[in-house]
Structure 1
Amino acid sequence: MNTNSNVYTIVYAIVMVVIVALLLAFTSGSLKSRQDANVALDKQKQILSALNVDLKGQDAAQLYDQIVEDGVILNSKGATLVTDKDQAFRLDIKKQAAMPLEERQLPVFIAKVDNTTKYVFPVTGAGLWGGIWGYIALDEDLNTIYGAYFNHESETPGLGAEIKNPKFQQQFAGKHILNENGEFVSVAITKNGAPAEGQEHIDALSGATITSKGVETMLLNSLGQYKAFLTHSVQNADEQAEEPMMEYIETIEQPNL
């Protein structure tokens, strides 16, 4: 073939474009797989952090598999749609939060820490400058907060960004999300430790009122999605104190899908 001809030039250009496109597609696919794995690992670390698990020098993925024993997907009425840890893990929480409440799929992660059962709930909301999110772990009574983890998209360093500080998160441990009547009320975040009527509270971040209120609203709205499950489960536990919670989850009436 005449390398100086127009035909050769066109064929050569087409071949090079195809080769480059294939290389880019392969590279993109490889990077996406790695990125997806990193996102999954980070999510596992966040859930473990809410469970107060020390990750220093540990294999987070292995710890997650050991500690998080199961997962369920509920609807807003508290009924179990799916019992599958991996499927619950893969749910897009932000996408679900944008849907009408009655259409949402709500994941719960069931873990075992120091031989006691913990339930982990994802939370998502808005701070001053962007999205905020995290996880809340409850004790087996589904009322007492065992641990909390929060993170943010773009809050102000030293102010709203302090929601990621363990000192802020540790304030939530031991707080109750139900009142004395077993009604869901969440937890208030107040300035200077001011009391909140009908709610337990923690101290707001100094100089970050809007972000602090964002966390408060996030907990109220996100945990509020599970209100039927939380209050029904507590009533069920009171009536049948010896019945394991997992048995309740597995035998709860299934919805007509």
Structure 2
Amino acid sequence: MEEKSVNKTNSNGYTFMFAIILVVVVAALLAFAATSLQPIQQKNVRQEKKQNILATVGVDSVEVDGQKVPLTRDLADEFFDKYITESVALKEDGSVDDSVDAFEVDLAKELKKPVSDQIYPLYIADIEGSKYYIVPLRGKGLWDAIWGYISLKDDINTVKGAVFDHKGETPGLGAEITKDWFQQRFQDEKVFDGNGNLIGVSVAKGSLGNGNKDDNRVDAISGATITGRGVSDMISERLKHYLPYFKQQGDIKVASK
């Protein structure tokens, strides 16, 4: 009887059954963990989004108990409404869709729709009496999606700041778009040319534009030509959809003719 029992446990059927049970148990544990962690992950994503939006207008630290401290994710959540005075969801014609929460708009999904059906979120900030307009960006790099935010001063021409991120660009090359030294190149650049045409800011190899803030260009990252082109394209492509709204605002002097 003992020998028969041993043979049974060594059979292929027993091995397969054990493997199936193990897979089911592991899958159940993973599903439980994913479900349990989802609210935390969603909260982190929302906080990071607020942190990045505020970073484009120079809010990288806040005052807490009389001292300046770095803007952490938790603090970005707490101080977001203090600086972002308005969030609007725009239609193609520049009108506001009050039925849509601008913060909840997913650009990855919007870009799959026809242009006429897309929603264009816009954030308006007030920093010490100065007004800024923050536009979400999304495009394609060398390997996968790139995204970010760019803020414009109240002349709708001068860049206040920019933040970029990516999904799979090459470390040391295209992934450098996340570095402060690259993002700072965009500060005070113009998005309209001298003739009033919206052209954005081009990332150009060998450009000397870092010192010339009127040439609509910044120096590229060496070895990251395609990623740089993706940054250039997403800035110009996204900004053009906001012109109808800006032209409708009586208190804004749009740089275009």
How many residue pairs get aligned? The number is 216
State the Cα deviation string for residues 36-95 of structure 1 (Å, max 9, x = none): 1111111111111212211425512112121111100111221222287xx111111111
Question: 1:45 and 2:59 equivalent?
Answer: no
Q: What TM-score, normalized to structure 2?
A: 0.75
Q: 1:218 aligns with which of 210, 213, 234?
A: 234
Assess, with a 3 A threshold, how the Cα gap between structure 1 residues 182 and 80 changes in structure 2: closer, same or farther: farther
* Identical aligned residues as a percent: 36
Q: Is the 2:158–2:188 Cα contact (8 Å) retained in structure 1? A: yes
Aligned to 1:164: 178
- Measure, in 1, the Cα distance between the counterparts of 2:119 and 2:248: 18
Aligned to 2:134: 120
Q: Is the 1:70–1:83 Cα contact (8 Å) retained in structure 2? A: no
Assess, with a 3 A threshold, how the Cα gap between structure 1 residues 146 and 30 changes in structure 2: closer, same or farther: same
Moved more, 35-44 or 221-230: 221-230
State the Cα deviation string for residues 184-225 of structure 1 (Å, max 9, x = none): 1211111111679x9511101111111111111111111122
Q: CA RMSD in A?
A: 2.7
Assess, with a 3 A threshold, how the Cα gap between structure 1 residues 116 and 236 changes in structure 2: closer, same or farther: closer
Assess, with a 3 A threshold, how the Cα gap between structure 1 residues 238 and 28 changes in structure 2: closer, same or farther: closer
Aligned to 2:197: 183
Aligned to 1:149: 163
- Measure, in 2, the Cα distance between the counterparts of 1:57 and 1:123: 22
Aligned to 1:34: 40
3-state SS of 1:82 partner: coil
Aligned to 2:77: 61
* TM-superposed deviation, 1:181: 4.0
- Measure, in 2, the Cα distance between the counterparts of 1:183 and 1:77: 19
Assess, with a 3 A threshold, how the Cα gap between structure 1 residues 80 and 183 changes in structure 2: closer, same or farther: farther
- Measure, in 2, the Cα distance between the counterparts of 1:23 and 1:190: 49
Q: Which amino acid aligns with 1:227?
A: L
Correspondence 1:2-151 to 2 at 5 A: 28-55=34-61, 56=70, 58=72, 59-82=75-98, 87-151=101-165
- Measure, in 2, the Cα distance between the counterparts of 1:113 and 1:28: 39
Q: Is the 2:203–2:220 Cα contact (8 Å) retained in structure 1? A: yes
Q: Which amino acid aligns with 2:43?
A: A
- Measure, in 2, the Cα distance between the counterparts of 1:34 and 1:93: 22
Q: Is the 1:184–1:227 Cα contact (8 Å) retained in structure 2? A: no
Q: Which amino acid aligns with 2:84?
A: V
* TM-superposed deviation, 1:29: 4.0
Q: Is the 2:144–2:167 Cα contact (8 Å) retained in structure 1? A: yes
* TM-superposed deviation, 1:180: 3.4
Assess, with a 3 A threshold, how the Cα gap between structure 1 residues 153 and 24 changes in structure 2: closer, same or farther: closer
3-state SS of 2:122 partner: strand
- Measure, in 2, the Cα distance between the counterparts of 1:117 and 1:162: 29
* TM-superposed deviation, 1:24: 8.1
**Structure number with bigger Rg:** 2
Q: Which amino acid aligns with 1:42?
A: E
Q: Which amino acid aligns with 1:98?
A: K
Q: Is the 2:137–2:149 Cα contact (8 Å) retained in structure 1? A: yes
Question: 1:237 and 2:231 equivalent?
Answer: no
- Measure, in 2, the Cα distance between the counterparts of 1:83 and 1:145: 29
